[in-house]
A and B are shown apart, each in its own frame.
Chain A
Amino acid sequence: MVKLTNITKVYLAGDVPVPALRGINLQIQAGEFLAIMGPSGSGKSTLLNILGCLDKPTSGTYDLDGLEVSAFDEEQLAVLRNHKIGFVFQSFNLLRRLPAIDQVQLPLLYRKVAHRRHLAHQALVDMGLADRMAHRPVQLSGGEQQRVAIARCLVTSPALVLADEPTGALDTRTGHDIMRIFERLNVERGITIVIVTHEHEVAAYAHRTVHVQDGQIVSDEANSSPNRSSTAAEPSLGGGAASEASTP
């Protein structure tokens, strides 16, 4: 479903070109659950931005669901994001003043769709937030906020869900809850999920792990024993900053 071929990305720091990605080749099949790992500055965020159609590669081709994305302009990319991609962020990125039901309707505002409220309601019920519809972000716990964000990402039925450190702002227990939701979505609904993380415990939920270093993929291996729900309550799952040091 996703096919990246020889993707490079070069940023300009003043006049000095800084390569962020140098020749990424990656294929993701529909229904896969993939983790991208790597130290800070490895290029994993740039990779995620390109996968999410937020950024365009300097060279190379990106085939998403049969569409050649690297040739798209801003407007087309926006429409593509709306229809194909769902984002989940570390800091939730909910709009401060909106109640949950309106947060979830947000992506539907940018496409012609009927029954917006109904779809949003259903997505929130799926996330176990039936009694939180009218709550604003400040009235919700971190885990609840991230579940609202996941509902917002799922309401458009995206082909690809991209999660950038989705547990980074949550405590260990809640982090596992959220990962179990992703696992369930992948298993029960066959949704393709890509998670960027630097925590092995988080990556352990995925079926495949890709390591990125210096803008290149250094390893790509299947996870033979994915972290299943039964083993999820490991106490070692740490906060973002703490586990940074343990990253290879």
Chain B
Amino acid sequence: MSITDTIRTAFAALTANKLRSSLTMLGIIIGVSAVITLMAVGQGSQKGVTESIRGLGSNLLFIRPGQSQASNVRAAVYGGQSLTLVDTDAYAINDPERFPYVEGVAPQIDFEAAVIAGGESTRTTIIGTTPDYQYVRDFYVRKGQFLSDDDISRKGLVAVLGQRVAETLFPDADPVGKSVRLAVGPGGMIVFNFRVIGVMEPKGATTTGDEDDLVFIPLPTMQARIPILRNPQGLSNVFQISVKVRDRGDFARAEKEIAALLRERHNVDKDDFVILSQTEVASLKAAETEISQTLWAAMAAIAGISLAVGGIGIMNIMLVSVTERTREIGVRKAMGATQGDILMQFLAEALMVTLAGGGIGVILGISLSMLANGRTILEQSVRADVSAVSIILAFGVSAVIGLFFGIYPAYNASRLNPIEALHHE
């Protein structure tokens, strides 16, 4: 029998019993759509973590104030910092003679403030930093320019806006060259006028927060204008020093030598700073999402089981169908159908059920993923990312299930004795 005739015959047999065929298909539809949706959510959260780690820039060490006990690492990451680091520490690290593997150093102070321009206002984080920040954090200005060495030495009243801040304050206009006001201190009492010199590229959320919701100003400007940031020695405290290291292989050496330098400068026995590598920061953040990823993976595995159950359902129905149609098989054999013809006919039926079910399941799975994307489920914001791999996998698995669970009933059918089959009641 030709392939088209086999397919036509199988199709006719399936449409002859539509309810049964649909119910048989349902198991596969549910299994495939569940696998695709859950894999999409799992992959989405994985991708979110990966991207936020990549968003930090590459080969970074972070130096933060605080004690170095392991239990304090968390505190250092999440705040509660004491003020032990100063801007001159950063300048000392940026010494190519002593630390040839250091490619860039960016000290920073973060401060909450209201930014006002025209009638618009938003509350955001102000970061006082140096021109190196762009290169160190791999985060560049898109329009205009970033802070220059000249801005640093003049303690200029210039600001670079993050993408979202720019959009909020200047929805219709080009912010570059415009003026914004920063209101800091209790009740926003201290107000400065800044000139916008640039807008950052969009970057999205990373492990250190939403990087589009920031405003950058020169570090010395911040220190000069906000006296509470100065410490008793007359130096300026910084909250974090980001150090870009040439190569990952230099991490251990860099950590050790920078620690030695800081101990020497601070003249302490017990470290009053913490050095974290990029991966340490990322892994702490990742640990939070890891739990949810495990959950999604477990759910996807359960969905996989439902797919197998769907396959068993198909086998069951195929066995019933073969028994019901014993006489038909006998007639076909008497008419000259070979064992191969009968085997292919029933296999084609099983395959068509699973492939049709798989196809509907894929469409349903993609729809569900699109529906879930961006919503909050189980107190987590869900990001669903349907990959071509999961679609091919789900489709392939349905085909394999059709073959695996269809072949036994089809083989049984093909082996029927035509004489007995013809006399079957």
Binding site for B on A (CB under 8 A): 49, 52, 54-55, 74-75, 78-79, 81-83, 87, 89, 93-95, 97-98, 106-107, 109-112, 152, 156
Contacts and interface: CB of A to CB of B under 8 A. Distances in A.
A241 to B, nearest CB: 17
Contact of A89 (B12, B328, B422): B422
Contacts of A152: 335
Contacts of B9: 109
B335 A54 contact: no
A49 B16 CA distance: 31
Nearest to A94: B331
A141 B2 CA distance: 33
B343 to A, nearest CB: 12
B1 interface: yes
Interface residues of B, number: 24
A54 B338 contact: no
Contact of A106 (B13, B327, B335, B419): B335
A176 B422 CA distance: 25
Contact of B419 (A54, A75, A110): A54
Given A95-B328, A110-B1, A110-B341, A81 B419 contact: no
Contacts, number: 63
A85 to B, nearest CB: 8
B118 interface: no
Contacts of A98: 12
16 contacts: A49-B419, A54-B333, A54-B419, A75-B339, A82-B335, A82-B336, A87-B334, A89-B422, A93-B330, A95-B328, A95-B331, A106-B331, A106-B332, A110-B337, A111-B336, A152-B335
A109 B333 CA distance: 12
A150 to B, nearest CB: 14
Contact of B336 (A78, A89, A93): A78
B57 interface: no
Given A95-B331, A109-B1, A109-B9, A78 B419 contact: no
Contacts of A110: 1, 332, 335-338, 341
A93 B335 CA distance: 11
B72 to A, nearest CB: 77
A74 B338 contact: yes
Contact of A81 (B5, B336, B422): B336
A82 B337 CA distance: 8
Nearest to B338: A78
Nearest to A155: B335
B344 to A, nearest CB: 11
B202 interface: no
Interface string B1-37: 1100100010011001000000000000000000000
B336 A79 contact: yes
A93 B331 contact: yes
Contacts of B16: 97
In the A-B complex, the 5 residue pairs with the smallest Cβ-Cβ separation, listed nearest first, are A82-B336, A107-B335, A78-B338, A110-B336, A97-B16
Nearest to A111: B336
A83 B336 contact: yes
B50 to A, nearest CB: 55
Contacts of A112: 2
Interface in B340-385: 340-341
Interface in B199-233: none
Nearest to B340: A75
B412 to A, nearest CB: 15
A111 B328 CA distance: 18
Contacts of B419: 49, 54-55
B334 A54 contact: yes
Given A74-B339, A79-B336, 13 more contacts: A54-B418, A75-B338, A75-B339, A79-B338, A81-B334, A81-B335, A93-B327, A93-B331, A97-B16, A98-B12, A106-B335, A110-B332, A110-B338
A55 B333 CA distance: 12
Contacts of A52: 334
Contacts of A94: 331
Interface string B305-346: 000000000000000000000011011111111111100000
B187 to A, nearest CB: 84
Contacts of B422: 54, 89, 93
A39 B419 CA distance: 19
A123 B195 CA distance: 95
Contact of A78 (B12, B13, B331, B337): B337
A97 B335 contact: no
A107 to B, nearest CB: 4
